[in-house]
Amino acid sequence: MNNGHGLSFKRLFSRQSEAADEEPILLPREAAPAARRQEKPAFPFTAVVGQEELKLALQLCVIDPTIGGVLVMGHRGTAKSTAVRSLAALLPRLDRVANCPYNCDPEAPSPLCPHCGGGGTAVTHKLTDLVPVVDLPLGATEDRVAGSLDVERALVEGVQAFAPGLLARANRGFLYIDEVNLLEDHLVDLLLDVAASGVNLVEREGISIKHPAKFVLVGSGNPEEGDLRPQLLDRFGLHARITTIVDIEPRVEIVRRRRAYDADPEAFAAEWEPEQEKLRNQLLQAQQNHAKVDLTDDTIAAAAGLCVALEVDGHRGELTLCRAAVALAALNGRTHTTPQDVAQIATLALLHRLRKDPLENVGDDIRIRRAVAELITA
C-alpha cells in the first residue's frame, strides 16, 4: 500500500523500527530560551528611525489587544518587519506553564487549555520567557496554522492526538504575517476570526478540540503587489501606511545605525538598552493603568461624528477609535480621554475603512485630516 507520496507503509514502518534502535536526540522546550540567548539580539525597537505611525500602532495594541491588530502597508525596505520582530525584546518577559504548548499563565491557566487540564488553579512549574512573536510563512497550510491530527502518533502509537499549530504558539503574544495581501483569503479570514474570539476551534479528521489563542495579529505587505478585500481590511483594528523617507538626514542616520548593528549587534543593543527600558516601563505602566482610564462622552461623540462625516460603513470605526483613544491616554499617563486623542489616531483607525470613490481627487488620509480639522481641532 502506498501513502500517496511514493513511500509504502511497509517501508515507512521499517524505517521507524530502524530509527528506534538509535538513541533519539531530544530538544526539550525548556532549552529554547537558552538557545535563543546565543543568537544575535534583534534590532532595537527604539532605534528604528521614523515610521512613528507604525510604532504608535504597535504600542497601542500592546496596551489593549482588543483593538484588533495592525495592518502595515508600505514600500519595500521601510522597517515594517524589523519593527514587528523587535517587539519580543522590547516587551516585559512573561511567565508561562512549563511544557505547555499554549503558553498558559501559571497564575491562571486557561480553562480551555487541553494541556493544563481545564485550568482554574495556579501551576507551580513555570518558566519566564520572551513574549512570543510568531512568523506565519506565506505558504503555510490551514493544518499548519490551526493544528491538525498528529500523524506520527497516529501511525506509531495508534492514538488520535492533536498537534498544535502556529495559533497555539502565538497565544499571549503576536502573530506576524509578512505579505499578508498575498495570503489566501480563507486563511486571513480564519486568522481574523480567531484573533477576535481568542479561541481556536479545530474539527477535522475525527478530532474536535478548542484551545486559547489570544494574540495580536500584525500583517504587512506592499500595496503594489495587491490589496486585501475590503471585508478583510475592515477587520484589522489599525492601518499604518508606511512610505519611504525622503529627507537626507534621517536616511543617513538609518545607514549609520544599520551598519553599527551589523558590525556588533550586542554592543548596539546594549547602547540602546536604556531607551528600550524606558519605553518598556512606560508600556508596563500603561497596561496597568489602562482599566482606570475614563472614556469621556466628548471623546465618544467626536469618534461617532467623525465616522458619520466620513460615511464609514458599520460601527467598527468608532469602536476602534474609542479603544485606541483609551490606550493612547494610558500611554501618555492620563486618567481620561479627550477628543484630541481621537484626532491623533483617526488616520490609523479609519484609513482602511473609507469608501473608495474613483472620482475623488484627494487621498484618503487628506480626507481624514480635513474632517478632523473641521470637527475636532477647529
189: confidence class by pLDDT, cuts 50, 70, 90: confident
Residue ending a domain, among 210, 242, 274, is 242
Nearest Cα to 331, choosing from 377, 368, 272, 278? 278
pLDDT reading at 156 higher than 80: no
User: Looking at this protein, which amino acid is placed at residue 252?
Assistant: V
pLDDT reading at 22 higher than 50: no
| 235 and 150 share one domain | yes
Q: Is residue 107 part of a domain?
A: no
Q: Is residue 207 part of a domain?
A: yes
> pTM, whole model, 2 decimals?
0.78
Residue 85 Ramachandran class (φ > 0 left, ψ -120 to 50 alpha, else beta)? alpha
pLDDT reading at 177 higher than 90: no
| Model pLDDT, residue 124 | 67
Q: 41 burial class (0-12, 13-18, 19+ CB within 10 angstroms)?
A: middle
- Rounded CA-CA distance 333/281 in Å is 12
Q: Which residues are catalytic?
A: 316
Radius of gyration of the chain (CA): 23
pLDDT reading at 137 higher than 70: yes
Q: How do residues 29-53 score in pLDDT, each as one tens digit?
A: 444 444 444 578 888 998 988 888 8
| 210 and 302 share one domain | no
Q: How do residues 195-205 score in pLDDT, each as one tens digit?
A: 888 888 888 76
Total domains present in the chain? 2
Q: Is residue 159 part of a domain?
A: yes
User: Looking at this protein, which amino acid is placed at residue 327?
Assistant: A
124 near 135, Cβ under 8 Å? no
Average pLDDT over residues 249-264: 92
The boundaries of the domain holding residue 220 are: 40-93+130-242
Q: H or E segment at 325?
A: helix 316-331
Residue ending a domain, among 242, 273, 306, is 242
Residue 230 CA to its chain's centroid (Å): 20
Q: How do residues 197-254 score in pLDDT, each as one tens digit?
A: 888 888 876 778 888 888 888 888 887 777 777 777 777 889 988 888 888 998 999 9
Average pLDDT over residues 270-297: 92
Comparing 170 with 17, which gets the higher pLDDT? Answer: 170
Q: Give me the sheet containing 133-136, strands edge to edge.
A: 133-136, 173-178, 215-221, 70-74, 238-242
Residue 36 CA to its chain's centroid (Å): 20
Q: Is residue 274 part of a domain?
A: no
Q: Is residue 101 part of a domain?
A: no
Q: Is residue 304 part of a domain?
A: yes
pLDDT reading at 15 higher than 80: no
Number of other CB atoms surrounding residue 371 within 10 Å: 19
Q: What is the mean pLDDT of the chain?
A: 80
Residue % of the chain over a pLDDT of 90: 26
Residue 94, CB-side half-sphere exposure with 13 Å CA sphere: 21
DSSP state of 8: B
Q: How do residues 294-346 score in pLDDT, each as one tens digit?
A: 999 999 999 999 999 988 888 888 999 999 999 999 999 999 999 999 999 99
Q: How do residues 63-119 score in pLDDT, each as one tens digit?
A: 998 898 888 888 888 888 888 888 878 887 888 888 888 888 888 788 888 777 665
| 297 and 238 share one domain | no
Q: H or E segment at 133?
A: strand 133-136
168: confidence class by pLDDT, cuts 50, 70, 90: confident
* Beta pairing partners, 74: 242
Q: Is residue 9 part of a domain?
A: no
| Model pLDDT, residue 34 | 44
| Model pLDDT, residue 23 | 38
| 82 and 211 share one domain | yes
CATH code at position 313: 1.10.8.80
| 328 and 234 share one domain | no
- Rounded CA-CA distance 113/105 in Å is 11
Q: Are strands 147-149 and 238-242 parallel, antiparallel or unpaired?
A: unpaired
